[in-house]
Structure 1
Amino acid sequence: MLRRMLLPLASTALLALLAVLCPAQGCVRTAPGWTAQAAARFWTPERMAGSMPASGRRLSPVAKAATASAASGPPGSAVHFAGVPTVGVLFSIGDDLAAHYCTASVVHSPGRDLILTAAHCEPGADIGFVPQYRAGADRQPHGIWAVDKVFTDPRWAPDDDAASDYDVAFARVRPDGHGRRVEDVTGANRLARTPGYHNRVTVIGYPQLSSDPADRAITCTTTTERLDERHQLRLACDGFFDGTSGSPWLLDYDVRTGTGTVIGLIGGLGGGGPTDRISYSPVFADPVLALFRTANRA
């Protein structure tokens, strides 16, 4: 199941700013005129509240229990909670003013300005990242951050099963209007190589409004395994509808700090899995770590 909506067309002005470069290690997209201030002016809390739900298959709603801990939900089911500053949503500009369409997370980096999501989310030049997004009056508790550059493996290609092993993207976000880096505001998860196919992880994501009217973060703690004979992981947990692509898989998650070590994300084969219950992830190995180094050097 594709865990994201099709992106709306960007505005003509932003498309005019878009430049695409493809070095040997990763793809870089830049939008010089897209700043945190521009993102905040466009995606006001009022406009977010009035944005249209993303179109797509509507599935049975996730369990409505509200909790601050993944351990409080029934086994194998995601639960709503208040979210954490290191995980948020991606918004894009388009004529239909579509609501958030993918999930992303902050990863620790020397520049303190990198987020991680799935490559099939296409986090291009007109994207804003909202950490710990939540419904209500305060939809941007930590601001909105403009994506500056995007890095994907050159072997990644949509609708290519073999390329789904590389369904990972890093994006650099611009400083906010006070000159702060995103990691200084939200903290960050650590990035690490996937230690094996069997791991106990906590997954945090944001389903689209069309699939989950609560419009809140969800979380689930469960065990991963190998996806058939592929170099990918799978897990079973209800509730990860469209919109949760890019949701981080966190090892050693600390509920007190809301952080952990990210060793995977919802992505890979079929855009992240066939249903809201079964999710996939590429294995984080040498290609992902090399892409991370490229993002840090650029």
Structure 2
Amino acid sequence: MRRLGAVCRVVALITVVTVGGAGCGWSAASSPQSERTPGEAAAPPPGTQSSAVPAGRVSSVGVLVNGDDHSCTASVVASPHGNVVATAAHCATGLPLDTLEFAPGFSGAATGTFPYGKWKVRAVQVDDRWTEDHEDAADYAFLTVEPDTKGRNVQSVVGASTPEWGAGPDQRATVVGYPDPDHNPDNHPVMCTTDVRQDPDEPAMMRMECGGFWVGTSGSPWLIGYQGPDRLGRIIGVLSGGDTDVESTAALFDAKARSVYERATRA
């Protein structure tokens, strides 16, 4: 699932969405380069990407599963008990908790395969600003998951990124996510490394311009210092929306996000 960003102010979707793109499109007024045509990304600086590429298996990144359906991207975040997963708030609220699971490393056509199994979600923690007003800057959630049938915590099996609170919005970040099956029939994750910046429409958020982040990529981790699947670096936010598959936004983790995370570590 991918939610439209702050410009559109669309109410969060609850069911799995299979339509890419957005209804309101890109406006030149919201673009820092008004000469750009709608949906066109800025020319990337050296060493960055303008379109997503196959990510291969990043074991700590996966999808949320609700019964037979999967939606949104989520990833394991380092925690004292190794049982915390980050995603977007609009992905994790409104769904029945008794059937919600996290499937790291998910891939494969149709219902896909689950190389590390599914991890039952025990609790969902969100910012009060999301509960009360669906505020875009609070569109993040931290989930507490149960041990697997062998008693292992998810972090010990698939690894985790380290949360960083209060990083500045101007970063070179790697974003890993799962586009919806209409654009990604084999359900493989994609990734993009590019320079991100403060969103001019929402100062508490980041924006990136990289094609291929369709519906389904909500909740994707924004990582700095990423050096590969086994050296994930630090997570500074999760993808929350965007007006096209090219333009994506993320709520920047701050002290309020840390407070929500700490509730998840105790749940």
- TM-score after normalising by structure 2: 0.79
Counterpart position of 2:72: 102
Range 123-132 or range 171-180, more displaced? 123-132
Shift of the 259–243 alpha-carbon distance from structure 1 to 2, 3 Å rule, reads same
* Inter-partner Cα distance in structure 2 for 1:84 and 1:229: 31
Counterpart position of 1:266: 239
SS at match of 1:254: coil
Question: Could you tell me which amino acid in structure 1 is paired with residue 91 of structure 2?
Answer: C
Counterpart position of 1:173: 145
Shift of the 285–58 alpha-carbon distance from structure 1 to 2, 3 Å rule, reads closer
Counterpart position of 1:211: 183
Describe how 1:16-27 pairs up with structure 2 within 5 A: none
Shift of the 166–236 alpha-carbon distance from structure 1 to 2, 3 Å rule, reads same
* Inter-partner Cα distance in structure 1 for 2:103 and 2:92: 16
Aligned length: 231
Is the aligned partner of 1:191 residue 2:140?
A: no
Question: Could you tell me which amino acid in structure 1 is paired with residue 264 of structure 2?
Answer: A
Is the aligned partner of 1:297 residue 2:259?
A: no
Counterpart position of 2:129: 155
* Inter-partner Cα distance in structure 1 for 2:183 and 2:112: 22
Contact map agreement 2:207 2:247 (CA 8 A) in 1: yes
* Per-residue deviation, residues 179-237 of structure 1 (Å, max 9, x unmatched): 11101101111000242121001000001112322321000000111111521110000
Can you give the 5+ residue segments of structure 1 that lack an aligned partner in the other structure? 9-53, 60-72
Question: Could you tell me which amino acid in structure 1 is paired with residue 59 of structure 2?
Answer: P
Which of 214, 223, 227 is the equivalent residue of 2:199? 227
* Inter-partner Cα distance in structure 2 for 1:282 and 1:183: 23
Describe how 1:12-161 pairs up with structure 2 within 5 A: 54-58=16-20, 75-93=49-67, 97-98=68-69, 100-122=70-92, 124=95, 125=97, 126-135=99-108, 139-157=113-131, 160=134
Question: Could you tell me which amino acid in structure 2 is paired with residue 144 of structure 1?
Answer: K
Can you give the 5+ residue segments of structure 2 that lack an aligned partner in the other structure? 5-10, 22-46
SS at match of 1:120: helix
Shift of the 144–74 alpha-carbon distance from structure 1 to 2, 3 Å rule, reads same
Superposition RMSD on alpha carbons, in Å?
2.5
SS at match of 2:129: coil
More RCO (CA 8 Å, sep 6+): 2
Shift of the 181–131 alpha-carbon distance from structure 1 to 2, 3 Å rule, reads same
SS at match of 1:155: helix
Contact map agreement 1:211 1:241 (CA 8 A) in 2: yes
Contact map agreement 2:126 2:141 (CA 8 A) in 1: yes
